[in-house]
Amino acid sequence: MFNVVLVAPEIPANTGNIGRTCVVTGSRLHLVGPLGFSLDEKSLHRAGLGYWESLDVAVYESWDEFAEKNELAHDDARLHLLTKKARRTYAEATYADGDYLVFGCESVGLPEVLLAAHAHCCERIPMLPDAASLDNASSWGAGEKNDHAALLAQDVCGNFVNPEDYRISALNLSNAAAVVLYEALRQTGFQGM
């Protein structure tokens, strides 16, 4: 069983998509706070997460609590930290049953201090260079009253964009998690692959 870890996820729909992927692959979902949404029954229902009872999920207040409860050492080889700031790609990694696939929040990724502490565990998903400025960039910021909302600007694919130049920053979180999880499953002989 693989472990998918979301650190400070912000968008319930992304977490929901990843949760569904975990259900169908027999993976466990770990949510490391702070969460950008509520997990109360009403919120889950509103987000369309009716399968939540079928999901093997654990929630933690912080990275330290997560690491302690899962008995992860500082140099634990079972960690795979997905970031744009890695030299090694996810496809170059070797996965084993029980590994932890760790993803950061949608707007800023994993904390720098965590990446620095586990530099040997960092992996990236190769992507083409950022696209040129998008035609509708000015419409994304229209009517927004604060900088926080601008930081959460998204393109039509759900990718977060840099509000300074409005270029695509990465795959959205649920797509990135699926790409890496299915490679890990492929490497370990998941039934039907």
pLDDT confidence tier of residue 77, bands split at 50, 70 and 90: confident
pLDDT for res 156: 43
What residues make up the domain containing 123?
3-127+171-187
Residue 130 vs residue 88, higher pLDDT? 88
pLDDT at 167 over 50: no
pLDDT for res 151: 44
Computed over every residue of the chain, the mean pLDDT equals 81
pLDDT at 181 over 50: yes
Number of domains in the chain: 2
pLDDT for res 138: 53
Residue 172 vs residue 169, higher pLDDT? 172
Q: How far apart are CA 70 and CA 129, in angstroms?
A: 36
pLDDT for res 13: 83
Task: Encode 177-189: b = buried (16+ Cβ within 10 Å), e = exposed.
Answer: bbebbebbbeeee
pLDDT at 146 over 50: no
Q: How far apart are CA 171 and CA 191, in angstroms?
A: 26
Q: Are residues 77 and 148 part of one domain?
A: no
pLDDT for res 14: 87
pLDDT at 6 over 80: yes
Give the type of residue at 136. N
Q: Are residues 123 and 100 part of one domain?
A: yes
The DSSP code sequence of 1-21 is --EEEEES---HHHHHHHHHH
Q: Are residues 116 and 71 part of one domain?
A: yes
Q: Are residues 26 and 116 part of one domain?
A: yes
151 domain-assigned: yes
Q: Are residues 106 and 39 part of one domain?
A: yes
192 domain-assigned: no
pLDDT at 106 over 50: yes
Q: Are residues 91 and 7 part of one domain?
A: yes
Q: Are residues 159 and 79 part of one domain?
A: no
Residue 75's domain is classified under what CATH number? 3.40.1280.10
76 domain-assigned: yes
Q: Are residues 88 and 156 part of one domain?
A: no
> For the segment 41-72, what is each residue's pLDDT rounded down to a tens digit?
676 666 556 678 889 999 999 999 999 999 99
